[in-house]
Amino acid sequence: MSDRMPYRLVPLSLEEETRWDDAIAPCEGREVFHRRAWLDYLAASRGVGARFWAIRQEADTLGYFCAGQLTKGPFRVLGSPLTGWGTNVMGPVFAPGADHADFLRALDALARRERLATVELESRLLSERALEEAGFEPVAAWTYLVPLDPGDPDAMWRRLHPTCRNRIRKAERAGLRVEDSEDPAFVEEYYEQYAALMRGKGLLTHYPLEYPKLLFAHLKKASALLALRVRDAAGRVLATGLFPHDDRTLYFWGAASWPDSLDACPNDYLHWCAMRLAADRGLSLYNMSGHGRFKKKFGGTLTLVKRWQKYHWRSARWARNGYHWWFQARSSWLRYRPRTAEPAEHARGGASADDEHGPPRRSDDFIEIMRNPGRSLSQRPRFRLSDLWRAPLHHFPIRDELLYQCLPLRPDMEVLEVGPGSGFTAFHVARRVDRLTLLDVAPGNVAHLKTVLTGLSNLRFMCADICDPRVPDALGTQVDAVYALEVFELLPDPETALANMARALRQGGQLLLQFPNYPPPKTPGVTYFSTRAELDRLMRRAGFEVWTIHSLRLRRYPQLVVDWGLERPLRLYRRVNPRGGRGEPLVYDDTWAFQHRHRLEPYKYVIHAAWAPLMGAMRLGGGCFARNLLGDDILNRNLLVLARR
């Protein structure tokens, strides 16, 4: 136990608060988001003012801390920053030599003293180890960090994607130019373009005009904002953008353009000029405040960022989990209806309204699901009575629940299922997507699927081996998502299979693989991985940009339902009616269910009528599957691989 005196968080007086910027100026970790200009903007726009403390040990001041506080029902939440503040980072700032663990202990003492239910931090400075040891839990997100090179624009230019360079050249040939505006009327121009963009995508605006107005008013006065207009040769404003900055980092807040101006490439030109202006001012980093196909072009590195939460009250955790469950269900309902407001404000405040390639890809949900095992979707298709006799015969569709829990599906998606089995999964997924391609190696099963899935006009059938290098060309198009459930372990050439799946995906496309990673004879499979390094190598060679590997298991309540509702009755049946066999089959054509489908078909509605309440009972406890992120130890586990190209 240390003999050092503990750190204390001492509230600043009103007089000390007025000198806040001067006090934090020499400290480590200071960002534009710590400055009074930003904090005053938040107070004016969100209606929640910041609180200020000095971090002290006896008479010595070792840093400063600012945060917002709000009350949700019985729960008091302290956030540095608060969710919804549109603030990338905040947290404490330190004098050299300050101890992070001592600060977090002082923060715990403050939470006990003020009966805080939850504390949230997002800091570039605090070490992850100290936060984990203090009991904080991470919530992951992603952003592109683009290095800026003051005095060397050629280095920045070389890092751009060739497509981006071509579009910037096209903008320059069209006579576009950029200006940093000091005119308050800039905000109306920006918001008019932004609102038009949202209307074109069938959405309402994410935030009111007052937000960018207040941002401009507070940060321009503090020389902490680039407010950029892109004009054409005739002087018409084609695009606008807002970029807060400090003396090190430029941040993207929001940008918009007129839809009829996209041929001139004003958005690419806008971001490139923002980078050039920031580099000319000596800034060394551009934080694009998120990720996506558009942002990938500017030469940045996709970087994991973490927001840290600590629950001091268990009831606060339960309440937040309940809210997330409700929010996901509501978001799923809203997502499939046109001209509806987005259910949540962008995490960083401004809209990334610069994607010129149609509606948003909705990859944010998938990235959060990848890195946050506690996050899941609620998007299972509604049960219809006709499903009892129309759906293909299936022996207990528990694996489908994983798909609905972990892969975001949208009405505009094209999807590829590898190994569709009975077609039961495809029957339901086809309702949620624009087009679904079913790929199976067995000709007999493909013919059967065409028969049992007749009437679904958005289905396409392919008889091919996913390990055949010609498959992506035969597919003839790229898709938004690929999934394979309990198939990958049966593939003799996993490297080619993964490469084919990656080639079949559009840029930013999503992959879901679920398979038992057990060596024979524990499974009938021919593919397994002794170490994570083997699987990582194949994923990297295939061309996936980011991936996570999870261990998978049924939660306790669904497992209990499966045990008593299915496994025990099946064991009893097999004891009474033993049947021989050739071992576990490698293709669906060889399964007992396929071989005896004609005998079972008359009883299909009875079987499905039994599955429906059993599956409903399993889902009463929420998501059926629990996931844990894995490190190196992946052998002898049921694996879930989530990846993005």
Strands (E), 298-374: 301-311
pLDDT at 615 over 80: no
Q: Provide the residue range defining the domain that includes 247.
A: 144-304
pLDDT of residue 576: 67
Give the pLDDT band of residue 645 (cuts 50, 70, 90).
confident
Residue 320 belongs to some domain of the structure: no
Distance CA(394)–CA(376), nearest Å, equals 25
Distance CA(184)–CA(209), nearest Å, equals 12
**126 and 178 fall within a common domain:** no
pLDDT in tens, 294-308: 898 999 988 888 899
In 10 A of CB 113, how many CB atoms?
9
pLDDT of residue 334: 44
pLDDT in tens, 542-576: 999 889 999 988 888 777 777 776 667 767 766 76
Give the pLDDT band of residue 357 (cuts 50, 70, 90).
very low
CA-angle at 93, arms to 89 and 96, nearest 5°: 135
pLDDT of residue 578: 62
**129 and 156 fall within a common domain:** no
Mean pLDDT lowest for which of 381-385, 460-464, 491-495? 381-385
Query: Residues 6 or more apart from 139 whose CB is under 8 A from it?
Result: 306, 307, 308, 309, 368, 372
pLDDT of residue 291: 81
pLDDT of residue 562: 73
pLDDT of residue 604: 65
pLDDT in tens, 240-261: 999 999 999 999 999 999 989 9
DSSP string, 575-603: HHS----SSS-SSGGGSHHHHTHHHHGGG
**119 and 186 fall within a common domain:** no
Domain termination site, one of 304, 328, 349: 304
**114 and 180 fall within a common domain:** no
Domain termination site, one of 78, 105, 135: 135
Residue 335 belongs to some domain of the structure: no
CB contact at 8 A, 283 and 247: yes
pLDDT in tens, 307-326: 999 999 989 888 877 766 56
**297 and 235 fall within a common domain:** yes
Instruction: Provide the number of structural domains found in the chain.
Output: 3
Q: Report the percent of the chain where pLDDT is more than 70.
A: 82
In 10 A of CB 628, how many CB atoms?
12
Burial class (CB in 10 A: 0-12, 13-18, 19+), 538: middle
28 three-state secondary structure = strand
Q: What is the amino acid identity at position 67? A: A
**550 and 474 fall within a common domain:** yes
Residue 350 belongs to some domain of the structure: no
Question: Of the candidates 595, 584, 501, which has an alpha carbon nearest to the alpha carbon of residue 547?
Answer: 501
* Most confident region among 78-92, 388-402, 575-589 by mean pLDDT: 78-92
pLDDT in tens, 456-479: 889 999 999 999 999 999 998 899
**432 and 480 fall within a common domain:** yes
Give the pLDDT band of residue 535 (cuts 50, 70, 90).
very high
Residue 62 belongs to some domain of the structure: yes
pLDDT of residue 353: 44
**261 and 115 fall within a common domain:** no
For residue 397, whether the previous peptide bond is cis, meaning omega lies within 30 degrees of 0, is no
pLDDT of residue 608: 67
Dihedral sign of CA atoms 163, 165, 170, 176 in order: positive
Two structure tokens written together for 218: 């507070």
pLDDT of residue 481: 94
Higher pLDDT, 594 or 472: 472
**74 and 209 fall within a common domain:** no
87 three-state secondary structure = coil
Residue 352 belongs to some domain of the structure: no
**479 and 625 fall within a common domain:** yes
Domain CATH number, residue 197: 3.40.630.30
Burial class (CB in 10 A: 0-12, 13-18, 19+), 118: buried
**166 and 300 fall within a common domain:** yes
Across 120-146, average pLDDT = 91
**3-state DSSP of 451-485:** HHCCCCCCEEEEECCCCCCCHHHHHCCCEEEEEEE
Distance CA(243)–CA(225), nearest Å, equals 6
pLDDT at 337 over 70: no
**472 and 431 fall within a common domain:** yes
Question: Of the candidates 362, 325, 357, which has an alpha carbon nearest to the alpha carbon of residue 342?
Answer: 362
Dihedral sign of CA atoms 284, 289, 291, 293 in order: negative
Residue 455 belongs to some domain of the structure: yes
pLDDT in tens, 386-420: 766 677 766 666 778 888 888 888 888 899 999 98
Q: H or E segment at 114? A: helix 100-114
pLDDT in tens, 200-247: 777 778 889 999 999 999 999 999 999 999 999 999 999 999 999 999
Q: What size, in residues, is the chain? A: 645
Residue 504 belongs to some domain of the structure: yes
Helix, strand, coil % in the chain, rounded to nearest 5: 40, 25, 35
Task: Give the β-pairing of 546-554 and 93-94.
Answer: unpaired
Residue 349 belongs to some domain of the structure: no
Across 31-37, average pLDDT = 96
Domain termination site, one of 276, 304, 332: 304
* Most confident region among 135-149, 154-168, 375-389 by mean pLDDT: 154-168
Whether the model clears a pTM of 0.75, i.e. scores above it, the answer is no
pLDDT of residue 418: 94
CA 573 to chain centre: 44
Higher pLDDT, 149 or 456: 149
CB contact at 8 A, 629 and 429: no
Domain CATH number, residue 430: 3.40.50.150
Higher pLDDT, 4 or 533: 533
